[in-house]
């Protein structure tokens, strides 16, 4: 009996290896591109979230103080301008009168109580570019409309957004 030497080739040829390598490079490039897109989207969402958080913070404080106010000091307030001022006349639980003032200065929405600086109503992650108050008065109530323009961003992404709110001050008759 004659034995034939049969050689079996196990392994990959050079062409097969190059094809597998090309497929691996294409898949890796797609995954890296996807990771960069996710990172960019995450930064954009963080900026938008910061804008919304600052707007809510400002509007909640103005709304709270307005609901506790007895009147709007129209003479000391500035309406329909980008650097608006809202001055409210309030009284505390001991019936001591106070004046609360909301205004924009150095890119921040700020608050004063009785002429003393209370502090900013925003974080440093956003800048206020406009704070506009408008007023409408009837015999029984005063409506204050507010517009807040905020800007925030990173070195590669800037976003500006307008936020609106209104509050009704019921007048005591």
Does some domain include residue 47? yes
pLDDT given for residue 152 in this prediction: 92
User: 58 with 147: CB under 8 angstroms?
Assistant: no
* Range(s) of the domain holding residue 66: 21-170
Q: In whole angstroms, how far apart are CA 140 and each of 27, 134, 137, 171, 172?
A: 68, 17, 8, 5, 7
Is residue 40 assigned to a domain? yes
Q: How high is the pLDDT of residue 153?
A: 87
Whether 5 is covered by a domain: the verdict is: no
pLDDT in tens, 128-139: 999 999 999 988
Query: Per-residue pLDDT tens for 45-80?
Result: 989 999 999 999 999 999 999 988 999 999 999 999
Residue 170 clears pLDDT 80, i.e. is over it: no
Q: Does 87 fall in a domain?
A: yes
**Residue 2 reports pLDDT greater than 70:** no
What's the domain count of the chain?
1
User: Do the Cβ atoms of 83 and 101 come closer than 8 Å?
Assistant: no
Strand partners, 158: 153
User: Which letter does DSSP use for residue 129 in this model?
Assistant: E
Residues 6+ apart with CB under 8 A from 100: 65, 69, 87, 88, 90, 111, 112, 113
| Collapsed DSSP state (helix, strand, coil) of residue 53 | helix
Under DSSP, the state recorded for 158 is E
Is residue 25 in a domain? yes
The reply to whether 3 falls in a domain is no
User: d(Cα 95, Cα 81) in Å, to the nearest integer?
Assistant: 33
Whole-prediction pTM: 0.78
Is residue 46 included in any domain, yes or no? yes
pLDDT tens per residue, range 105-130: 999 999 999 999 999 999 888 999 99
Q: Is residue 49 assigned to a domain?
A: yes
């Amino acid at each position: 009996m004659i034995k034939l030497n049969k050689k079996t080739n196990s392994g990959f040829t050079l062409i097969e290896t190059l094809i597998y390598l090309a497929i691996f490079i294409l898949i890796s490039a797609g995954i890296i591109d996807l990771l960069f897109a996710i990172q960019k989207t995450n930064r954009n969402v963080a900026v938008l979230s910061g804008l919304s958080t600052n707007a809510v913070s400002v509007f909640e404080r103005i709304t709270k103080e307005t609901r506790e106010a007895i009147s709007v000091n129209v003479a000391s307030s500035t309406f329909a301008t980008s650097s608006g001022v809202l001055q409210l006349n309030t009284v505390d639980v001991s019936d001591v009168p106070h004046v609360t003032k909301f205004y924009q200065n150095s890119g921040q929405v700020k608050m004063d109580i009785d002429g003393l600086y209370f502090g900013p109503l925003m974080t440093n992650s956003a800048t206020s570019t406009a704070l506009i108050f408008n007023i409408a008065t009837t015999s029984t109530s005063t409506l204050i409309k507010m517009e807040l323009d905020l800007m925030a961003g990173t070195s590669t992404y800037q976003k500006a957004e307008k936020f609106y709110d209104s509050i009704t001050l019921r007048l005591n008759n």
